[in-house]
Each structure stands twice: as structure tokens, then as C-alpha cells.
Amino acid sequence: MEEVEGIKIRPPSSGSLGSKVKVSEENNIPEGSFLIKRVNWLEVKVTDIDKSLAFYRDTLGLKVREQWPNYAIFDLPGTLTLAIMSGGKKGPKESAPNIYFAVEDLDAEYENLRTKGVNFIEAPRRQYWGGYAALFADPDGNLFYLTQSKD
């Protein structure tokens, strides 16, 4: 076994990708590993909390759960929470995760939000992965997708 900066490393045996890990049969997760239950909270940084609050609440129709001078929390369907907080910068964010909001009828929601002045970067279109999605930006340039599964 090799040691690098105090960490013991087991080199892979020749011709393999390393030693096998015992995996639970029911969910294919290595035994003894940390199990994340779900994504619980998404937080987006914004430059103007009042302008962004109006966008997420009034334009997108999200319900405000709690609000402070520099932070607001919105309820989303299911178990996920979206929050906005002061301290952001305008423009696209490098390496930001893609966030997808699922809707029943993408074409109708796209037209509805366009009439409310939402800045769509991409109109609804079939995605390479098989989905149907449109890309939009909030007032600070944070990007979000609206998506719908089309059968």
C-alpha cells in the first residue's frame, strides 16, 4: 500500500480498475456509504432582493414561505425549497448547476411567461436527451429551464 501525504492508497491490481466494493443488492449503493435522501434546498444569489422577490413571486407564481431584508424562501411542490439571497452578481454564472422546473404544458407556460416579460434564452425545443425544454434567465441572469416530458 502506498502512502501520499499521510493517506494510504491501495493501487489497483494489474488489469483492473481497483478493488471491488461490496454493494447492497437492493439499491446498488456501497455498504456503509453516506446515503443522501434528497436534494432539499436550492439557493440563488441575486443583486436586488426586492426586484427578484417580485420576479419569483409575481411572475413565476412561487409562494413565499418566509422573507427577511436580504433573503426569501419559496415553497416548491414536493420537498424542495428555493431561496434567494443578496450578494449575487449580474450575468451568467460559470459552473452553476442546471435547475429544471417541471411544468404540465411547456408551450402554454412559455407563452404565459413571455407575455409577462420573462427573458427566454431558448424557446421550447426537443433536447438531445429526449426532453422538451426552454431556457430562461431571472433579472440577474441566473439560468433556469422549464421542462416537460412529451410522449
3-state SS of the chain is: CEEECCEEECCCCCCCCCCCCCECCCCCCECCCCCCCCCCEEEEEECCHHHHHHHHHHHCCCEEEEEECCEEEEECCCCCEEEEEECCCCCCCCCCCCCEEECCCHHHHHHHHHHCCCEEEEEEEECCCCCEEEEEECCCCCEEEEEECCC
pLDDT for 22 equals 59
Local confidence band at 6 (pLDDT 50, 70, 90 cut-offs): very low
User: How many Å apart are CA 116 and CA 101, to the nearest integer?
Assistant: 17
Cell numbers that stand for 96 in this block:
452553476
pLDDT for 10 equals 41
Q: What is the pLDDT of residues 78-132, one digit of tens each?
A: 888 999 999 999 987 888 889 999 999 999 999 999 999 999 999 999 999 889 9
Q: What is the pLDDT of residues 25-56, one digit of tens each?
A: 666 666 666 677 778 899 999 999 999 999 99
> In this structure, are strands 100-102 and 143-148 parallel, antiparallel, or unpaired?
parallel
Residues 6+ apart with CB under 8 A from 85: 43, 44, 45, 46, 49, 70, 71, 72
Domains and CATH numbers, the chain: 38-148 (3.10.180.10)
Cell numbers that stand for 8 in this block:
494510504
Local confidence band at 14 (pLDDT 50, 70, 90 cut-offs): very low
